[in-house]
Amino acid sequence: MSNLEDVAKAAGVSRSTVSRVMNNEGYVSAATRARVLEAVEQLHYIPNHAARTLVTQRSNVIGVVMPSANVFFGDNSYFPMLLQGIAEAANPRDISMILWLGQANEDPEHFSQRITRNRLCDGLIIASIGYDDPLIPRLVDNVPYFVMVERPVQFHDRISYVTCDNVKGGQMATEHLIRNGRKRIAHITGRLDLADGQDRLVGYRTALERAGMAYDPDLVVEGQFSYESGYYAMKNLLAQNFDAVFIPSDTAARGAIRALEEAKLRIPDDVAIVGFDDLEDAARTNPALTTIRQPVQQKGAAALTLLLDLIDGKVENPYQVILPLQLVIRQSCGANLSQPMQNQGGVASNR
Amino acid sequence: MSNLEDVAKAAGVSRSTVSRVMNNEGYVSAATRARVLEAVEQLHYIPNHAARTLVTQRSNVIGVVMPSANVFFGDNSYFPMLLQGIAEAANPRDISMILWLGQANEDPEHFSQRITRNRLCDGLIIASIGYDDPLIPRLVDNVPYFVMVERPVQFHDRISYVTCDNVKGGQMATEHLIRNGRKRIAHITGRLDLADGQDRLVGYRTALERAGMAYDPDLVVEGQFSYESGYYAMKNLLAQNFDAVFIPSDTAARGAIRALEEAKLRIPDDVAIVGFDDLEDAARTNPALTTIRQPVQQKGAAALTLLLDLIDGKVENPYQVILPLQLVIRQSCGANLSQPMQNQGGVASNR
DNA sequence: GTGTACTGTGAGAACGCTCCCATGTCAAAT
DNA sequence: ATTTGACATGGGAGCGTTCTCACAGTACAC
Rounded mean pLDDT for each run of 10 residues along chain B, 351 residues in total: 92 94 90 94 95 96 85 76 93 94 84 88 85 76 90 84 96 96 96 92 97 96 92 96 96 94 94 94 88 96 97 93 96 70 46 37
Q: What tens digit of pLDDT does each residue of A205-224 get?
A: 999 999 999 999 999 999 99
Interface probe for A, chosen from B1, B98, B100, B349 (most Cβ of A below 10 Å), is B98
Would you call B117 and A50 a contact, using CB atoms and an 8 Å cutoff?
no
Would you call B96 and A98 a contact, using CB atoms and an 8 Å cutoff?
yes
Degrees to nearest 5, angle at CA B81 with B343 and A166 = 90
> Tell me, in Å, how far CA of B17 is from C1' of C10?
8
Q: Is B315:B309 a contact under the CB 8 Å cutoff?
A: yes
Rounded CA-CA distance A36/A56 in Å is 23
Q: What integer best gives the mean pLDDT of chain A?
A: 90
From the CB of residue A27, how many other CB atoms can be counted at a distance below 10 Å?
7
> Tell me, in Å, how far CA of B9 is from C1' of D25?
23
Alpha-carbon dihedral of residues A166, A167, A168, A174, nearest 10 degrees? Answer: 100
Stronger pLDDT, A95 or B140, i.e. the higher one = A95
B228: chain A residues, CB-CB within 8 Å: 347-349
Q: Report, as an integer, the average pLDDT of A19-39.
A: 92
Q: How confident is the model at residue A337 (pLDDT cuts 50, 70, 90)?
A: low
Q: Is B156:B126 a contact under the CB 8 Å cutoff?
A: no
What's the confidence (pLDDT) of residue B23?
93
> Tell me, in Å, how far CA of A124 is from C1' of C13?
36
Q: Report, as an integer, the average pLDDT of A8-36.
A: 93
Nearest residue of chain B to residue A67 (CA atoms): B84
Is residue B101 less than 8 Å (CB to CB) from chain A? yes
What's the confidence (pLDDT) of residue B339?
46
Which A residues in the span 268-307 are in contact with B, Cβ-Cβ below 8 Å? Answer: 280, 284, 286
Degrees to nearest 5, angle at CA A196 with A191 and A199 = 105
Is residue A77 less than 8 Å (CB to CB) from chain B? yes
Q: Is B294 exposed, middle or buried (0-12, 13-18, 19+ CB in 10 A)?
A: buried
What's the confidence (pLDDT) of residue B212?
96
Three-class SS of residue A272? strand
Is residue A113 less than 8 Å (CB to CB) from chain B? no
Stronger pLDDT, B282 or A47, i.e. the higher one = A47
pLDDT of A346 over the 60 cut: no
Question: Which residues, other chains included, contact A187 with Cβ-Cβ below 8 Å and sequence gap of 6+?
Answer: A174, A201, A204, A219, A220, A221, A245, A246, A247
Would you call B1 and A119 a contact, using CB atoms and an 8 Å cutoff?
yes
> Tell me, in Å, how far CA of A58 is from C1' of C20?
19
pLDDT of A81 over the 60 cut: yes
Would you call B48 and A72 a contact, using CB atoms and an 8 Å cutoff?
no
Rounded CA-CA distance A92/A60 in Å is 12
Rounded CA-CA distance B268/B288 in Å is 10
- Kindly determine whether the C-beta of residue A28 is less than 7 Å away from any atom of nucleic acid strand D: yes
Q: What tens digit of pLDDT does each residue of A150-172 get?
A: 888 887 788 999 999 999 999 99
Q: Report, as an integer, the average pLDDT of A111-126.
A: 90
Alpha-carbon dihedral of residues B129, A82, A111, B97, nearest 10 degrees? Answer: 40
How many CA atoms are closer than 13 Å to the CA of B53, on its beta-carbon side?
A: 24
The neighbouring-strand residues paired with B123 are B62
> Tell me, in Å, how far CA of B51 is from C1' of D15?
8
Rounded CA-CA distance B166/A290 in Å is 38
Q: Which domains does chain B have, with CATH numbers?
A: 4-47 (1.10.260.40), 61-165+296-323 (3.40.50.2300), 166-294 (3.40.50.2300)
What's the confidence (pLDDT) of residue A341?
41
Q: How many CB pairs under 8 A join A and B?
A: 145
C chain positions with any atom within 7 Å of a protein CB: 7-12, 14-20
Q: In angstroms, what is the C-alpha Rg of chain B?
A: 25
| C-alpha dihedral sign at A288, A290, A294, A297 | positive
